[in-house]
Structure 1
């Protein structure tokens, strides 16, 4: 299978992944009115996805290292899509929380799997662009899906929205299984193959689980730098995925359809940001610039721009509110190639595990931020929530400046290397 086909499969999977994460935000106002749910309760529902998503990141990363992607990916797609469909049949806060937890559980291995696929199929100087393309699915997909989801809800109600979303994912799982081809050393002359895997065994997609590897994944300052950065990036992203439509509808006073269309603008900006970042970063690497400059610069600039969200607190103009929120999400898009650091820094046999740890810490933002915002906006004032997003952006910026250091693969301890050699 060609690289373009691989990226297309991942891209559409990411679109569906984020559709099933965010349809709850489109439906939130209708659900709240129908089931009499408070803002604090809705914050808990928003957060519930991340409780299991975060907890399962490390086991999910280990699973990605241990199970062939062609079988794992369709299974988790079907599983989370079925639960998405079930959301349209429930009628209580507890049931909604349970469904969101189940979706988080089954989606947990998806991003470590995406990163491992790119690491296997793409050379180092191509990865930022590849990651930018599939990551853009969460932005461009939602930019167009927000209005579509709003229309589906307008036609079929919030229950129909979940049912339609679930059916789409089930169909896509079948398509994935039919078309995805596992990359292995059985294809040594395949021009699409990544030569970095040339010394692996005939089943390079599996690595035994090792608790020593887990210890290494949490003992590196360099890795903690990207983990904290991912948490801060996730804080901005989760605001747009959860509370943003409510902010537009209730705080800014827009109708449901206005909210659906206006909400798409920042996602388009983020899409532009992530593609610009990925391709410029790869171009700089090919031109001979260091990884410190080529990879870090878009992320640091993006986090700085994300702090501009605070300016939306000081204007009542729809145009300027849209501009500042779009600039914020554009910055988040610029910084979203940070997954490339997992490929560049993690030991090659630990890409799935480190990706799981990376997304575990990032996922904690989706546990904490929606609930915290729910408390901050109880009185209907969203200004403290936007201030929180700005603080997170600066924290992530400082993490990349002072913790990540030189961008290079972490060397395993000698004893661990000897153990691997004996194995």
Structure 2
């Protein structure tokens, strides 16, 4: 795996994921200091958290479409440069309006992250490995969240919260230099790819997806996919995943400092535990669903099982996390929530890879990600208003997150199935090859 160029690309994207969530989690870690410095209420802080997702959700789709048209390498590199610069510019915020504007622009920069790295995986990997590759890449994001606690917490205490954003910007720009000179859009363009590896990639991509044509035989295009119940169900399940994730990302650090009276230093280290378990869950989830796929030969069955079971467990845990009286209990339940939530993290993208033509993977992925990230626009703001209305109580917000996750699990279980009119799926077409395949 280490000598493989396709896994080297995954390694770079993994590091980008670390930087991505280091950038994104910095605001929630520094939130108590920012809230005090700029005199924000809980409702105002909730609006600040949500403002990021206005730009982010829109550019999920824009970034996906651009990845199909001009290439994922260019889009991903441009996104890293833009979001790094606006992360650093957060240090210039002096009012509610200026911070909201900077967070919207920061979100626009981060928007293409997932759809463009999914497109890179589609370019570089045989289909039987896509969930595993996306899982490894995605596991970098909670690792970045874990590092954000001690790193941002230390810098905020020692130098002030503004300097934390400037230093993180420098890290992102350094990664961009490496990405620019070490990668190519396709393996065929990369001189370091061996003949054997190129043959493996090309052979593994020469299989039909499960929705290559519409019900009447027409060639499937972007508009066709965006109307499919399976795609919309995947988007809603992804929405529920994001609702819980962004509730945790935005408000859990503040919850620990207010409801459990933790210091900024102790909170910074306590939040590491859920993120580390989440990183393990994300990496494992892709391998688990690909293993079920190889055993059954049915890609959407493997995806449906992982989504419905793990989202259901996460829903129960998050609903109870706000009801426990001890700090240890709250952190433990939230850690279990994040682990099972993140097991599903690569599966939404795998469903798209299983069902969508290569020419439309970026656009469809961006559309699904756009709908999913509306949870980021809604969730943090709703939580802020709930806490404000209940005079600092968080219990109802935790329960609401659990209810949303239950609905997502049910949606995945009911609608993520092989389309009735579709031909044979990706791995169904060659079940013997799928079961015998090895990395």
**TM-score between the two structures when normalised by the length of structure 2:** 0.86
Partner of 2:345: helix, strand, or coil? helix
Q: What is the distance in 2 between the residues matched to 1:168 and 1:385?
A: 34
Do 1:345 and 1:409's aligned partners in 2 also have CA atoms closer than 8 Å? Answer: no
Match of 1:300 among 280, 298, 308: 308
Tell me, yes or no, if structure 1 residue 335 matches structure 2 residue 338: no
Q: What is the distance in 1 between the residues matched to 2:59 and 2:253?
A: 28
Tell me, yes or no, if structure 1 residue 273 matches structure 2 residue 285: no
Match of 2:375 in 1: 365
CA distance 1:244–1:278, change in 2 (3 Å): same
Do 1:344 and 1:409's aligned partners in 2 also have CA atoms closer than 8 Å? Answer: no
Match of 1:79 among 56, 75, 82: 82
Do 1:345 and 1:410's aligned partners in 2 also have CA atoms closer than 8 Å? Answer: no
Taking the TM superposition and a 5 Å limit, the aligned residue runs for 1:132-151 are 132-151=135-154
Task: State the Cα distance separating 1:141 from its structure 2 match.
Answer: 2.4
Match of 2:435 in 1: none
Greater Cα shift, 367-376 or 47-56 = 47-56
Match of 1:352 in 2: 362
Cα deviations across residues 147-175 of structure 1 (Å, max 9, x unaligned)?
12211111111101111111111111111
Taking the TM superposition and a 5 Å limit, the aligned residue runs for 1:43-62 are 43-62=46-65
Tell me, yes or no, if structure 1 residue 325 matches structure 2 residue 337: no
Match of 1:202 in 2: none
Match of 1:240 in 2: 248
Q: What is the distance in 2 between the residues matched to 1:182 and 1:216?
A: 26
Tell me, yes or no, if structure 1 residue 249 matches structure 2 residue 261: no
Tell me, yes or no, if structure 1 residue 18 matches structure 2 residue 30: no
Cα deviations across residues 80-132 of structure 1 (Å, max 9, x unaligned)?
11111111022111111111100111111121111011112111211111111
Q: What is the distance in 2 between the residues matched to 1:214 and 1:285?
A: 26
CA distance 1:186–1:133, change in 2 (3 Å): closer
CA distance 1:326–1:409, change in 2 (3 Å): farther
CA distance 1:335–1:343, change in 2 (3 Å): same
Task: State the Cα distance separating 1:189 from its structure 2 match.
Answer: 4.2
Partner of 1:120: helix, strand, or coil? helix
Match of 1:221 among 229, 233, 247: 229
Partner of 2:271: helix, strand, or coil? helix
Do 2:126 and 2:205's aligned partners in 1 also have CA atoms closer than 8 Å? Answer: no
Tell me, yes or no, if structure 1 residue 391 matches structure 2 residue 403: yes
Tell me, yes or no, if structure 1 residue 314 matches structure 2 residue 326: no
Cα deviations across residues 54-83 of structure 1 (Å, max 9, x unaligned)?
122222211111112333222221111111
Do 2:22 and 2:147's aligned partners in 1 also have CA atoms closer than 8 Å? Answer: no
Greater Cα shift, 265-274 or 29-38 = 265-274
Q: What is the distance in 1 between the residues matched to 2:71 and 2:226?
A: 25
Task: State the Cα distance separating 1:269 from its structure 2 match.
Answer: 1.7
CA distance 1:38–1:388, change in 2 (3 Å): same
CA distance 1:213–1:198, change in 2 (3 Å): closer
Q: How many residue pairs align between the two structures? A: 399
**TM-score between the two structures when normalised by the length of structure 1:** 0.90
Task: State the Cα distance separating 1:289 from its structure 2 match.
Answer: 4.5
Task: State the Cα distance separating 1:184 from its structure 2 match.
Answer: 5.1
Task: State the Cα distance separating 1:213 from its structure 2 match.
Answer: 3.5
Cα deviations across residues 334-367 of structure 1 (Å, max 9, x unaligned)?
1112211111112221100011011001110000
Partner of 1:174: helix, strand, or coil? helix
CA distance 1:218–1:90, change in 2 (3 Å): same
Do 2:300 and 2:416's aligned partners in 1 also have CA atoms closer than 8 Å? Answer: no
Once superposed, what is the RMSD of the aligned Cα atoms?
2.0
Task: State the Cα distance separating 1:181 from its structure 2 match.
Answer: 2.0
Do 1:83 and 1:102's aligned partners in 2 also have CA atoms closer than 8 Å? Answer: yes
Tell me, yes or no, if structure 1 residue 111 matches structure 2 residue 114: yes
Taking the TM superposition and a 5 Å limit, the aligned residue runs for 1:33-182 are 33-182=36-185
